[in-house]
Chains A and B, each alone.
Chain A
Amino acid sequence: MVKAFLRDYPTEARLLLVVLAIVLFLSLASDSFFTLVNFTSLLNNTAVNLIWAAGLLVVLIAGGIDISFAVAASVVQYVAVYVFEALGGGNWAIGFVVAGALGIALGFVNATLIHHFRIITIVVTIATFNAFFGLLMFFTSGRFLYNLPDWWVDRIIIFEHQTANGTWAELTLPVAVMVLCLAATWLLINRTTLGRQLYAFGDNPEGARRLGINIALMQFLAFGWMGMMAGIGGLMQVNIVQEVVPNALIGRELDVLAAVVLGGARLGGGRGSVLGCVLGVMIVALTQNGLNLMGVSPFAFKMVVGAIILIAISASNLSFARRVRPPVGGWK
């Protein structure tokens, strides 16, 4: 069992070791790290990134890349505010449907440009990143929205526990949603035929085409899924921060992208797993959390996180190069 895991998931196994090493180090370095209160708040704070990571994973597996999703999430938040108003306030059920549908629509914009105009994904999403953000700032004039429906901003606690010293450890709704999103993504990519087609398409697009895989469907599925996760992540983000700010999410796309790639998803397609993606995001989150607790300046965060990602990715590339030698006659 362990052996099979090590063979089939070498990247994940290594990341798991790194996570354990970080946890061990921080437990020794800081008193407040290895506590239930800290872990629950870590999960609450990482939930949105994990939801987005699940979406991005699907795009990466299909051989694409998306840097427009965080801005798309902001667009979803703004439009959703008006939709809820028009629907007389809305509720959670409407909230998920509206946010998901808006996200899917924005994802389909990307997919349409990619498939019908044959533009490569990074160029398309750089363009839509700018277009979405420009439109958002233009129409909102950068206005913050605080007057939001109560259901949206009320904290929903799904787990609570009072610790010995009287503080409360709580898990909130975004964590539950995050778990569902990850589970759904796992189901999609590992257990459904369309998910396996996504892998195949990302791995060898020409081979997939010749086999009769519906290429348009793949692009719309990947970017639609990403869009849905972007929308749901945006919905959850509002629940956490209780406001809608047009430029609050910009920049998050690169953090998530780096974490997902750290988790073993390959730029270029065909490889990546939900477990690796979770571990990648957690490594970054744990490091930030630990630096925070140890009183390191926030400006050092990005530097340290960047270094960790570089080290982790070069380490996994090195071992990859040793293990798999090019076949006779070179790679085809």
Chain B
Amino acid sequence: MALDTPGAALTPAISFRHVSKVFGGVHALDDVDFEVMPGEVHCLAGENGCGKSTLIKIITGVYTPELGVEMAFFGRRVASVTPNIARQNGIAVIWQDLALFPEMSVAENIAFETLLGNLPRLVSYRSLRARSAAILETLGEDIDLDARLNTLPIAQRQIVAIARALISDAKLIFMDEPTASLTQSETDSLLGVVRKLAARGVSVVFVSHRLAEVLDIADRVTVLRDGKLVGVFEAEGMTQSRLTELMTGKTFGAEVAARDMTGAPAVLEVEGLSRHGEFEDVSLTVHKGEVVGLTGLIGAGRSELGHALFGMTRPDTGAIRLLGRALHLRSNRDAVAEGIAYVSEDRLSLGLVQPQAIADNIVLPILSRISRRTGLISPTEKAGRVEHWLRELSIKAGQPGDPVSTLSGGNQQRVVLAKWLATNPRVLILDSPTVGVDVGARAGIFRIIRVLAEKGLAILMISDEVPEVYFNADRVLHMAGGRIRGEYDPRKVTLKELEAAVYG
């Protein structure tokens, strides 16, 4: 549609040049150029803190850039951008939290724009539904317009957010980590929607940590590092490792780290474990010092198995043995007492008390162990443990007394790890350890996992990202439909073969 006049494709949808932004003397952005063509899927890549969100906020008029900037929407120069000007120019943002209204209907969520205004008007639900239905139809999506939003899965809410952007005639949509909480098939269908948008001439700027999908969907990639423009690259021909290098400025060797640890004594043994509707006849062994990767699509029963091993649910049949002794876990407290630690998938919200101090978070599961006989917590004992773990995991924190929320994602991740390692576990179960962590920090997390294994910890690493387990586990188990379907030695298969087995 935007391409119907010759030459239109040559005018960028947005063109921002020499964008700088200083916060308290620090350059969040330093002379960055950013340009997106109509109908282009453009990826904005960079580590946390590289200036991506600052750039988005400048383009959408939330922040004012420093002087010297040149800004244009569809070839028209503008002197300044306010949220209203951005909206009038068809710029929309779908934030990670979607900003939808969970208690309201799908139709109202999509077409809420028509309900805005300070003067009361009567609502026409008929036109509301008609407009929403029309938008959903162009997206080829079928969602019950009367359903309350909070009854929908996240993937469909995502679609509702996109539909809302389109109804206000968006010509360029920013999507901030749209796939972070989606399964593989949901991600695929979202990427399908993005392609449809592009085909209609709508530009999409994609911000994502999942490099594979970035390269899959994008036409071009703009890479930022430390507030500076690294470059703009064609996605075609770009590889994940090259992109990682550009984003971090470092090279990461992608080498298989597997070792044969099956000769070491078995720590965790699971035999014939079943729980109705979740997993069936699961048998596995994790040896001392071994990292076992458990992969499979979301819904394969991986996390459910993790919950059972951590005593949060009770299996129907089968046995769990720790160092040869049968365990009968009635709760996760039993599991902690036996030396099993479980780092949950959604650790940043479930695994940490964000407003509380880093130190308090770390000692949370071991309060009874650092208490004196009087029941009061020993401050020296606490400080000692905290200091130990901050050092051990090289957590970059200002003060142990600072709230966890002041840390970066990667460091928060380490605090969660520290919290569980403080319980002195024999077995560590990690569920999707890198969700929401950027590339540079991921490598750090895997390094820590490796060191822990070398110290003799038995580690079960659950992840739906096959490369992650391929490069970092000693053995890989593939789970599907609640069963273990196969066991792979990363040294003997290629990543392609493993991916084919899991995704195929």
Q: Which residues of A contact B (CB under 8 A)?
A: 8, 188, 190-197, 199-200, 203-204, 206-208, 210-214, 217, 270-271, 324, 327-330, 332
Per CB-CB distance, the 10 closest pairs between chain A and chain B, nearest first, are A207-B99, A270-B103, A329-B181, A203-B101, A194-B120, A192-B120, A193-B115, A203-B103, A330-B346, A193-B121
A-B contact count (CB 8 A): 88
Nearest neighbor of A194 in chain B, beta-carbon distance: B120
Note all chain A residues with C-beta closer than 8 A to B115. Answer: 193, 196-197, 200
Taking the closest CB of chain A, its distance from the CB of B92, in whole angstroms, is 11
Indicate whether A217 sits within 8 Å of B346 (C-beta atoms), given known contacts A203-B101, A207-B99, A211-B99.
Answer: no
B350's partner among A8, A194, A271, A330 (CB-CB below 8 A) is: A330
A197 proximity list for chain B (CB < 8 A): 115-116
A217 smallest CB distance to B (angstroms): 6
User: CA A330 – CA B436 in complex, angstroms?
Assistant: 14
Contact of A210 among B99, B103, B153 (CB under 8 A): B99
Interface membership of chain B positions 78-118, coded 1 if the CB is closer than 8 angstroms to chain A and 0 otherwise? 00000110000000000101111111100010001101111
Closest to B84 in A: A212
Given contacts A329-B346, A330-B349, is CB(A199)–CB(B154) below 8 Å? Answer: no
Q: A324-B151, A330-B350 are in contact. Are A203 and B104 (CB under 8 A)?
A: yes
- Best-buried of A8, A192, A213, A329 by chain B (most CB within 10 Å): A329
Please tell me if the beta carbons of A196 and B117 are within 8 angstroms of each other in the complex.
no
Q: Does B282 sit at the interface, judged by CB under 8 A?
A: no
Q: List 9 A-B contacts (CB under 8 A).
A: A193-B121, A194-B120, A207-B98, A211-B99, A211-B113, A270-B101, A327-B153, A328-B154, A329-B181
Decide yes or no whether B123 CB sits under 8 A from chain A.
yes
Tell me which residues from 111 to 154 in chain B have a Cβ below 8 Å from any Cβ of chain A. Answer: 112-113, 115-123, 146, 150-151, 153-154
Q: How far is the CB of B219 from chain A (nearest CB, A)?
A: 28
Chain B residues with Cβ below 8 Å from A210 are 95, 99
Cβ–Cβ contact B150 & A324, under 8 A: yes
Q: A200-B112, A214-B118, A324-B151 are in contact. Are A270 and B350 (CB under 8 A)?
A: no
B345 interfacial contact with A, CB 8 Å: yes
B495 interface contact, C-beta 8 A:
no
Bound-complex Cα distance A188 to B455 (A): 66
The reply to whether A203 and B99 form a contact with Cβ atoms under 8 Å apart is no
Docked complex Cα distance between A51 and B83 (Å): 40
Evaluate contact between A191 and B104: CB separation under 8 angstroms.
Answer: no
Residue in contact with B102 in the complex, picked from A193, A203, A213, CB distance below 8 Å: A203
B370 interface residue (CB < 8 Å to A): no
> Which A residues are CB-close (under 8 A) to B480?
none
Task: Please give me the residue from chain B that is nearest to A323 by CB atom.
Answer: B151
B102 contact set on A, CB distance < 8 A = 203-204, 270
Residues of A within 8 A of B119 (CB): 194
Q: Please state if A328 and B108 are interface contacts (CB–CB under 8 Å).
A: no
Using CB atoms, name the residue of chain A closest to B152.
A327
Q: Which of B84, B101, B117, B345 contacts A329 (CB 8 A)?
A: B345
CB <8 Å contact, B345 and A199: no
Count of interface residues, chain B, beta-carbon cutoff 8 Å? 35
- B contact residues around A213 at 8 Å (CB): 116
**Across the interface, do A328 and B151 meet the contact criterion of CB distance under 8 Å?**
no
Contacts of A324 in B (CB 8 A): 150-151
Chain A binding surface, main DSSP class: helix
Given contacts A8-B146, A327-B153, contact A204 B123 (CB under 8 A): no
A-side contacts of B120, CB under 8 Å: 188, 192-195
What's the least CB distance linking B351 to chain A, in Å?
10
B266 on the A face (CB < 8 A):
no
Q: Indicate which residue in B113, B118, B122, B298 contacts A328 across the interface (CB closer than 8 Å).
A: B298
User: Within the complex, what minimum Cβ distance (angstroms) separates B36 from chain A?
Assistant: 22
Contact between chains at A212 and B154 (CB < 8 Å): no
Chain B contacts of A194 at CB under 8 A?
118-120
Asked if residues A191 and B123 are in contact (CB atoms below 8 Å), the reply is yes
> Closest residue of chain A to B83, judged by CB?
A212
Cβ contacts under 8 Å, B345 to chain A = 329
Q: Tell me the minimal C-beta distance from B191 to chain A in angstroms.
A: 18
Cβ-closest chain A residue relative to B435: A329
Give the residues in chain B near A200, CB-CB below 8 Å.
101, 104, 108, 112, 115
Contacting residues, chain B, for A206 (C-beta < 8 A): 97, 99
Closest approach, in angstroms, between the C-beta of B337 and any C-beta of chain A? 26
User: A327: which B residues are within 8 A, CB to CB?
Assistant: 153-154, 181
The residue in chain B whose Cβ has the minimal distance to the Cβ of A332 is B97
For the complex, what is the distance from the CA of A206 to the CA of B151, rounded to whole Å?
Answer: 21
- The answer on a CB contact under 8 Å between B103 and A211 is no
A208 to B121, CA, bound (A): 18
Within 8 Å CB of B154, what residues of A? Answer: 327-329
Q: How long is the Cα–Cα vector from A117 to B108 in the complex, in angstroms? A: 31
Told that A188-B120, A194-B118, A207-B97 touch, could you supply 11 new A-B pairs with CB distance under 8 A?
A193-B122, A194-B119, A200-B101, A203-B102, A203-B104, A207-B99, A207-B101, A213-B116, A327-B154, A329-B154, A332-B98
Which residues of chain B come closer than 8 Å to A217, judged between CB atoms? Answer: 118
Asked whether, in the complex, the Cβ of B100 is within 8 Å of the Cβ of A207, the reply is yes
Smallest CB–CB gap between A300 and chain B, Å?
37
Q: Smallest distance from the beta carbon of B187 to chain A beta carbons, Å?
A: 13
Residues of A within 8 A of B98 (CB): 207, 332
Kindly supply a per-residue 1/0 record for chain B positions 292-305, scoring 1 wherever the CB is within 8 Å of any chain A CB and 0 otherwise: 00000010000000
